[in-house]
Amino acid sequence: MVSLPGSTAVAGIGATEFSKQSGRSELQLAAEAVFAALDDAGLSPADVDGLVTYTQDTNQEIAVAREVGIGDLTFFSRVHYGGGAACGTVLHAAMAVATGVAETVVCYRAFNERSGRRFGQPDARIGGEPSSQGLEMSWHVPYGLMTPAAWVAMFARRYMHAYGVTSEDFGRVAVAMRRHAATNPAAWFHGRPITLEEHQASKWIVEPLHLLDCCQESDGAVALVVTSAERARDLRRSPALISAAAQGAGAGQLMMTSYYRDEMTGLPEMGVVGRRLWEQSGLGPADIQTAILYDHFTPFVLTQLEELGFCGRGEARDFVAGGGIEIDGRLPVNPHGGQLGEAYIHGMNGIAEAVRQIRGTSVNQVAGVRNVLVTAGTGVPTSGLVLSAE
């Protein structure tokens, strides 16, 4: 029997410069991030025998291996469901290392999203594909419900109705994320905080979501080196131990349109992940010093706080309004600025920030960090991590 908690670690992190016009292909971006992560760990391409990425990444593992100079691979894997895959890549890598299938695995995600292939654009064709996803999409795509923003807006409207939440409550999340990004030199919105008034004045995308409720588009890439805890202790940086890693899907799960459940004001898939993380790590919400919550849209930050047990149902708006997610709050959320403020690299940049928090090297370092919770994309089958200091 292999025990995952604490037996593996993230030993290296690397990223490209986050931009809106990289001028480089997604393969070049991926290779740059992998080189940076290996250098951070003090390793070479010859040390890597495993690669994990997303099904939606355009770069095949063998292409990245050739570009970087990685030799034989004993393990490679692709994780499904878009942003929900972020922490799942680390889970797959950790399982491979813990079971002896691979010794050192690199997880990566590359985006040429703004200047190249636009991500999340409407595509009416998906509603007619002869597949399970095509069947699902055929229920709503022909009627114009075609984008992630529109899907989340439907959920958000129901959440507002159930708990008396307002657009201003969503806006406070955006303001906090931009405040954190403003002091992060790596963030695209470095030096550019916003006010609640500016959030409210930003254009509608799909009511009740304003432009500033939606994450940005970014070019860039992030890579993470996963190896055994024992080996990580001998490498260049202090390790971030993987105390727990989980994936989860809820009953009646669909792709961001799970409108047919009996109850539509929560994120059951995140509840599945949260329960597994607490069980596996032996920790609970009170043991977490900072959280990296997937913030592709502001309403899902509120519901994640509730699903994960940091506050009760319908109480997240008061938690946020009381400063709970600020750097000096009860649970600092996304000290790097998140995907609303730093960059949208499908959540992988959030895992890198969690490692920095464990190391004590973040530009917005939270005091006394021992355990960091990280979540992946919400509304889809998702994943999560608890990273810990030794």
Considering 54, 81, 163, 344, which one is annotated as catalytic?
344
Q: Are 113 and 103 in contact (CB under 8 A)?
A: no
Got the DSSP string for 147-209? SHHHHHHHHHHHHHHHHT--HHHHHHHHHHHHHHHHT-TTSTTTT----HHHHHHSPEEETTE
* Exposure on the CB side of residue 154, measured as CA atoms within 13 A: 15
Considering 54, 81, 163, 294, which one is annotated as catalytic?
294
204: left (phi over 0), alpha (psi -120 to 50) or beta: beta
Report angle CA 203, 207, 212 to the nearest 5 degrees.
40
Q: Are 81 and 380 in contact (CB under 8 A)?
A: yes
Q: Determine how many CB atoms are found less than 10 A away from the CB of residue 153.
A: 21
Q: Determine how many CB atoms are found less than 10 A away from the CB of residue 211.
A: 14
Q: Please indicate whether residue 344 is annotated as part of the active site.
A: yes
Q: How far is CA 364 from the centre of its chain?
A: 18
Q: Please indicate whether residue 294 is annotated as part of the active site.
A: yes
- Coil, strand or helix: which one is 68? helix
Residues β-bridged to residue 51 = 76, 106
End-to-end CA separation in angstroms for the chain = 23
Report angle CA 251, 80, 227 to the nearest 5 degrees.
115
Catalytic residues, by residue number, are 294, 344
